[in-house]
């Protein structure tokens, strides 16, 4: 399979701000292909060597959090977080960007997940809880961006639902309520394609629901 050639000399940065960059990737036979990313121009994935590509880390981590309250049946923990591009509170798994310091951890995705779960849900994972990488890096929408998420699953036992809070949310984060769904409820939400308020959700919510409903997490524990 022949890979189209990208000429680094013809890569043009069209926009480079503190929060986002737009890059014009000029492949042979393609006049323009635009990439929108929070990465700085020198971090664009298309400019990496194959070795650098294979050793890459995700920009963020999405957390599939499964909890058992006082030894009860497993339930999936989801939040309703305000998503600015959509202007709505969307049913969402906890998630967040990978900090530079996480990259020095033995498993960077795990380091990010532990912090984000604590910040967004108030849940401090214990040594006895299970924590594992489901996917080290999955591209979000590679027709538009090179941004990516790692997927991490946490299986935790908690004494009380009152542990969940958003006290650690950052200034731009707005988290509404929390919901614990059992397998039947998760399957219903999957079939609906919307939450119980009729609001659509993200593909990462779909992934979390599917991973939980399928029981795959039990095979990975």
Q: What is the dihedral of CA 38, 113, 66, 174, to 10 degrees?
A: -50
pLDDT bucket at 168, cuts 50 / 70 / 90: low
- Average pLDDT taken over every residue of the chain: 92
- Nearest CA-CA partner of 195 in 208, 184, 185: 185
pLDDT at 221: 79
Q: Could you identify the residue written with the tokens 């503190």?
A: 18
Q: What is the dihedral of CA 142, 132, 94, 84, to 10 degrees?
A: -10
- Nearest CA-CA partner of 204 in 157, 147, 122: 147
Per residue, the 3-state secondary structure of 14-51, as one string, reads EEECCCCEEEEECECCCCCEEEEECCCHHHCHHHCCHH
Query: What's the predicted TM-score (pTM) here?
Result: 0.93
Residues 16-67 pLDDT 10s: 999 899 999 999 887 789 999 999 888 999 999 999 999 999 999 999 999 9
Q: Tell me the two tokens of residue 120.
A: 């967004």
User: Where do the structural domains in the chain lie, given as residue ranges?
Assistant: 1-40, 60-220
Domain 60-220 falls under CATH 3.90.79.10? yes
Q: How far apart are CA 83 and CA 209, in angstroms?
A: 19
Overall average pLDDT of the 159-166 stretch: 78
């Amino acid at each position: 399979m022949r890979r189209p050639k990208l000429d680094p000399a013809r890569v043009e940065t069209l926009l480079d701000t503190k929060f986002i960059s737009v890059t014009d990737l000029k492949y042979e036979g393609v006049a323009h292909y635009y990439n929108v990313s929070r990465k700085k121009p020198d971090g664009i994935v298309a400019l990496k060597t194959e070795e650098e590509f294979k050793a890459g880390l995700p920009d963020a981590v999405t957390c599939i959090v499964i909890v058992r309250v006082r030894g009860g049946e497993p339930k999936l923990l989801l939040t309703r977080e305000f998503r600015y591009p959509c202007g709505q509170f969307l049913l969402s798994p906890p998630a967040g960007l990978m900090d530079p310091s996480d990259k020095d951890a033995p498993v960077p995705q795990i380091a990010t997940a532990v912090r984000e779960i604590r910040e967004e849900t108030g849940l401090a994972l214990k040594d006895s809880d299970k924590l594992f990488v489901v996917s080290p890096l999955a591209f979000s929408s590679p027709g538009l961006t090179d941004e990516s998420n790692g997927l991490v699953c946490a299986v935790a036992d908690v004494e009380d639902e009152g542990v969940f809070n958003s006290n650690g949310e950052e200034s731009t984060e707005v988290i509404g309520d929390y919901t614990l769904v059992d397998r039947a409820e998760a399957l219903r939400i999957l079939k609906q394609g919307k939450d119980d308020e009729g609001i659509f959700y993200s593909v990462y919510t779909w992934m979390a629901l599917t991973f939980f409903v399928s029981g795959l997490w039990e095979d990975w524990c």
